Amino acid sequence: MNRCALIIGCILLTLAAPLSLAAADAEDTRNGLPLVYQSTFDSGLEDWRFTDEKAWKIVEEDGNKVLALTAQSKYFPPVRSPINQALLKDLNLSDFVIEVRLKQTGREYGHRDLCLFFNHQDPAHFYYVHLATTADEHANSIFLVNGEPRVSIAKERTDGTKWTSAYHQVKIERDTAAGAIKVYFDDMEKPVMVAEDKHFLSGAIGLGSFDDVGQFDDLKIWGTKVE
């Protein structure tokens, strides 16, 4: 290869690299939705607001940083609903897919839980998924908080969530046009909870628990942003 051809080849290779990266990003979609946020919790907590920031911190686990809820928040919600909430700032979504790894680090009992919040309007108006050991009217379901104590709205759900000492993969899908909410736990093909509701069609996304401790990592969100 002569010098001119070599130079041209290097230029083309340099130009192609960013295009390949852009194409890869463009292909990172779920249910046709673009990736709008991701975090491995290596860069701090500036993106988050808390019901009690003292209850949360970044901890290192086997050389990996994770978001840890370490204590009960000093927070009194306006209606009966989860105490421990970490909500993403400046991300208002309608349709979305959330994927996150989480680990329950509390004691075993019927309502041992972790939660994910979505379409969050204000402290008295939002949805949340409650993953708990045993299902009842107040546990292991999809809940609506609408200016009054939370109400289970799941049409389908399992008898409980089998927590271990390991991380579990969770996915939530929201289709506002259909009102659909689907929750997956470890098995990303078969939902463990299903609901239909259209009270809130956009809002904030969050992580937390009702009154337990746990850890979160590798959060990715695809969705439609709403101003």
Domain boundaries, the chain: 1-29, 31-225
Full-model pTM: 0.88
Closest Cα to residue 131, out of 184, 202, 70, 73? 184
In angstroms and rounded to an integer, the radius of gyration of the C-alpha atoms of the chain is 20
Angle at 52 between CA 48 and CA 58, to 5 degrees: 55
For domain 31-225, give its CATH number from 2.30.330.10, 2.60.40.10, 2.40.50.100, 2.60.120.560: 2.60.120.560
Model confidence at 25, pLDDT cuts 50, 70, 90, reads low
Question: Sorting pLDDT into bands at 50, 70 and 90, what band is 27?
Answer: confident
List the Cα angle 91/47/183 in 5-degree steps.
55
Q: What is the DSSP string of 26-40?
A: HH-EETTEEEEEEE-
Checking if the pLDDT of 44 tops 90, the result is no
* Distance in angstroms (rounded) separating the CA atoms of residues 113 and 212: 6
pLDDT interval class at 16 (50, 70, 90):
very low
pLDDT(3) > 50: no
Mean pLDDT for the stretch of residues 210-217: 97
